[in-house]
Chain A
Amino acid sequence: MNIELKQPLRAAKSKLAIVDCDIHPRATLEDLRPYLSNHWWHYIQTYGLRPRHGHVKGYPFPKPTPLASRRDSWPPGGQPASDLDFTREQHLDFYGIEHGILNPLAPSGQGDQNADLSAALAFAINEWQTADWVRREPRLKASVVVPYEDAEASVKEIRRRAGDRDFAHVLLLSRTSEALGRRRYWPIFEAAVEAGLPVGVHVFGYSGWAMTGTGWPSFYLEEGVENATTTQTLIASMIMEGVFERYRDLKVVLIETGFGWLPALGWRLDKHWERMRDEVPHLKRPPSEYLREHFWVSTQPMEETDKPEQLIDVMKWIGFDRLLFASDYPHWDFDDPFVSLPPSLSEAQRRAVYADNARALYRLG
Chain B
Amino acid sequence: MARHVVAPVGDIPAGECKLVSIAGRAIVVFNVGGEFFALNNRCPHRGGSLALGKLTGLVESPQPGEYCYSRRGEIIRCPWHAWEFDIRTGRSWCDPQRLRARQYAVSVEPGAKLVEGPYKAETFPVSVENDYVVVEA
Contact = CB atoms under 8 A, between A and B. Distances in A.
Main secondary structure of the interface of A (DSSP, over half): loop
Interface string B44-84: 00111101111000000000000000000000000111100
10 contacts: A5-B41, A7-B49, A65-B82, A70-B79, A71-B52, A72-B80, A332-B81, A332-B82, A333-B81, A339-B46
Given A2-B12, A3-B51, A72-B79, A336 B46 contact: yes
Interface residue range, chain B: 20 to 34
A12 interface: no
B18 A2 contact: yes
Size class of the contact patch on chain A: 10 to 19
Interface string A332-361: 111110111000000000000000000000
A334 B51 CA distance: 17
A279 interface: no
A336 B52 CA distance: 16
Contacts of B39: none
Interface of A: 1-5, 7, 64-65, 70-72, 332-336, 338-340
Q: Which 5 A-B pairs have the closest CB atoms?
A: A71-B79, A72-B52, A2-B18, A72-B79, A5-B19
Interface of B: 11-12, 16-21, 26, 41, 46-49, 51-54, 79-82
B48 A72 contact: yes
B80 A5 contact: no
A1 B19 CA distance: 9
A234 to B, nearest CB: 27
Contacts, number: 55
Contacts of A65: 82
B49 A1 contact: no
A165 B124 CA distance: 54
A334 B80 contact: yes
Contacts of A338: 47
Given A2-B11, A2-B12, A2-B19, A339 B79 contact: no
Nearest to A338: B47
Contacts of B21: 4-5
Pick the most buried of B16, B26, B79: most chain A CB atoms within 10 A of its CB. B79
Given A1-B51, A339-B46, A339-B47, A70 B19 contact: no
